[in-house]
Amino acid sequence: MALTDQSTAAKPELLTINMGPQHPSTHGVLRLELVLDGEIVVHCRPVIGYLHTGIEKTFESKTYVQGVVLTDRTDYLNSLGNNLAYALSIEALMGCEIPARATVLRVLLAEFTRLASHLMFIGAMALDLGASSPFLYCWREREKILDFFERMSGARMMTSFIRPGGLVRDLDASILADMSAFIDAMPAYVDSYEDLLTGNPIFRERTEGVGVLTGDDALALGVSGPILRASRVAFDVRKANPYCGYETYDFEIPTGTVGDCYDRYLVRVAEMRETVRICRQALDKLPDGPVQTADRKVMPPPREELARSMEAVIHHFKLWTEGIRPPVGEAYVGVESPRGELGFYVVSDGSGRPIRVHERAPSFANLQALPRIIEGGAMADVVACMATMDPIMGEVDR
């Protein structure tokens, strides 16, 4: 391990301490080995793998649609976003068209998930820094979002609602009306979180100038998402490589000025406001129509059709026994998760099961930057840095 000049004979006493994997502030099972010189962190070595679930291996033994269930559980705060990334890769492989209503609803659901993830981020970050009230306020709104997910799909978190070919089912008018009312009320809630934290002198002291990450360092380490944008690199996959019609929505990409923890917090709060704008536009322009593709090789026919059409019965049979069968090939579609660029690299050999599914998890790359922002800082800043990195160990370890 590399030691800095501080480890000369003048200060030979370095303390190695272990933080995690069981620790209230690690945002999951992340273990940090810290070498301290007094209060300064001289070296930081993250140890991951405590949540390695063998998800990528498990994909190979499941059909493509069964695999949707696994995608929920990698980045568990961005379940619908993961479903979307996986579905987009398979639809690219199969060359399948998605109806307009499904596309707009996908944007709506992905943005709601982004909102829920950022609410969790603010709550968890504040809690880590010692402020317990924002946690409760943020979770009050998060509960409303989870209620919408439960009403539409039956599950609060792992909905598996976005499948290759469209959505599982349509959202009815009452859910959409309530979502609309929620979106209208959201900016006031974001104002209330900002009232608690953004101008708070203690919060600012603990985050301003702490954990600075330059844009060059961030790019060299493969960082993406709000962390990269806080380091002044204005890259957002939704703007650079629009998917699901994002080019038709009007929204900004907030960037930071310094690249410290405070900037990373501000960028995410600003992203919440932009997300509200996107959701408003999605709700306003939602067209009527089906939410599943008509391609019977991807989505099963409706039950009524089975009584009338032999072809429908055959499609139904093949889909339920073999599953969907993409042609030989590979596909990767990058999407913007709340943590950065996310994508599923799906490799098919023409059979009903993939031969390889690899998740390009944004937190995996982002976490490589953690030693860079922790080293040289104080021990007390480690928690603030970790909180603003917002790693989700489920997708880091997969």
Partner 1 sequence: MAVSDTLQAVFESGEVSLPADGIPTVRVPLAELLEAVEQVRGALGHSRFVDLTAVDRLTSEDRFELVYLFYSLEAHTWLRLKARTDHAAPSITPLVPGANWYEREVFDLFGLDFQGHPNLKRLMLPDDWQGHPLRRTEPLGSEPVDFTVTRKMYGTD
Partner 2 sequence: MTSGSADSKSGAPGFVLSRLEDWARESSIWPVTFGLACCAIEMMAAGASRFDMARFGSELFRASPRQADLMIVAGRVSQKMAPVLREVYDQMAEPKWVIAMGDCASCSGVFNNYALIQGVDKIVPVDVYVPGCPPTPDALLDSLIKLKQRIALDSRNARHGARTGAGLGIVHTEPSGPNAH
Asked if 285 is part of the footprint of partner 2 (rule: CB under 8 A), the reply reads no
Looking at the Cβ atoms of 172 and 349, the one nearer to partner 1 is 349
Q: What Cα–Cα distance (Å) separates residue 116 from each residue in 7, 57, 357? A: 44, 29, 26
The option from partner 1, partner 2, none interacting with 350 (CB < 5 to 8 A, set by class) reads: none
Asked if 70 is part of the footprint of partner 2 (rule: CB under 8 A), the reply reads yes
Asked if 222 is part of the footprint of partner 2 (rule: CB under 8 A), the reply reads no
| Among the residue ranges 5-13, 21-29, 81-89, 332-340, the one whose residues contact partner 2 (CB under 8 A) | 21-29
Looking at the Cβ atoms of 170 and 397, the one nearer to partner 2 is 397
Binding partner 2 by CB under 8 A: which of 12, 54, 199, 201? 54
**Coil/strand/helix, residue 15:** strand
Looking at the Cβ atoms of 117 and 231, the one nearer to partner 2 is 117
What is the DSSP-derived secondary structure letter of residue 246?
A: G
Asked if 90 is part of the footprint of partner 2 (rule: CB under 8 A), the reply reads no
| Among the residue ranges 53-61, 179-187, 327-335, 377-385, the one whose residues contact partner 2 (CB under 8 A) | 53-61
The option from partner 1, partner 2, none interacting with 135 (CB < 5 to 8 A, set by class) reads: partner 2
The option from partner 2, partner 1, none interacting with 89 (CB < 5 to 8 A, set by class) reads: partner 1
Binding partner 2 by CB under 8 A: which of 7, 40, 73, 219? 73
The option from partner 2, partner 1, none interacting with 347 (CB < 5 to 8 A, set by class) reads: partner 1
Q: What Cα–Cα distance (Å) separates residue 84 from each residue in 162, 337, 344? A: 6, 10, 10
| Among the residue ranges 55-63, 176-184, 257-265, 323-331, the one whose residues contact partner 2 (CB under 8 A) | 55-63
In the complex, the smallest distance separating the C-beta of residue 392 from partner 1, rounded to whole angstroms, is 15
CA distance 44 to 119: 28
CA distance 114 to 265: 14
CA distance 131 to 207: 13
In the complex, the smallest distance separating the C-beta of residue 398 from partner 1, rounded to whole angstroms, is 8
Residues 6+ apart with CB under 8 A from 75: 81, 82, 337, 339, 342, 361, 363, 392, 394, 395
Asked if 45 is part of the footprint of partner 2 (rule: CB under 8 A), the reply reads no
Asked if 120 is part of the footprint of partner 2 (rule: CB under 8 A), the reply reads yes
Q: Which of 326, 359, 282, 277 is nearest to 84 (CA)?
A: 359
Looking at the Cβ atoms of 76 and 345, the one nearer to partner 1 is 345
Helix (H) or strand (E) holding 47: strand 40-47
Annotate 136-153 with DSSP letters as a single string.
Answer: HHHHHHHHHHHHHHHHHH
| Among the residue ranges 35-43, 46-54, 98-106, 274-282, the one whose residues contact partner 2 (CB under 8 A) | 46-54
Amino acid at 398: R
Binding partner 2 by CB under 8 A: which of 42, 44, 65, 77? 77
Tokens representing 90?
Answer: 């398979």
**Coil/strand/helix, residue 309:** coil
- The crossing angle, in degrees rounded to 10, of helices 133-153 and 173-197 is 170
Which residues are at the interface with partner 1 (CB under 8 A)?
48-49, 52, 54, 56-58, 60-61, 89, 92-95, 219-223, 233, 235, 240-241, 327, 329-334, 341, 343, 345, 347, 355-356, 358, 360, 364-365, 367-368, 397-398
Q: How many residues bind partner 2 (CB under 8 A)?
A: 34
**Coil/strand/helix, residue 57:** helix
The option from partner 2, partner 1, none interacting with 219 (CB < 5 to 8 A, set by class) reads: partner 1
Do 240 and 228 touch, CB atoms closer than 8 A? Answer: no
CA distance 373 to 381: 10
CA distance 262 to 298: 45
In the complex, the smallest distance separating the C-beta of residue 21 from partner 2, rounded to whole angstroms, is 6
The option from partner 1, partner 2, none interacting with 354 (CB < 5 to 8 A, set by class) reads: none
- Burial of residue 175 (number of CB atoms within 10 Å: 0-12, 13-18, 19+): middle
Q: How far is CA 243 from the centre of its chain?
A: 16
| Among the residue ranges 155-163, 188-196, 265-273, 364-372, the one whose residues contact partner 2 (CB under 8 A) | 155-163
Contact residues toward partner 2 (CB under 8 A) are 21-24, 28-29, 49-55, 57-58, 69-70, 73, 76-77, 120, 135-136, 139-140, 142-143, 146, 156-158, 393-394, 397
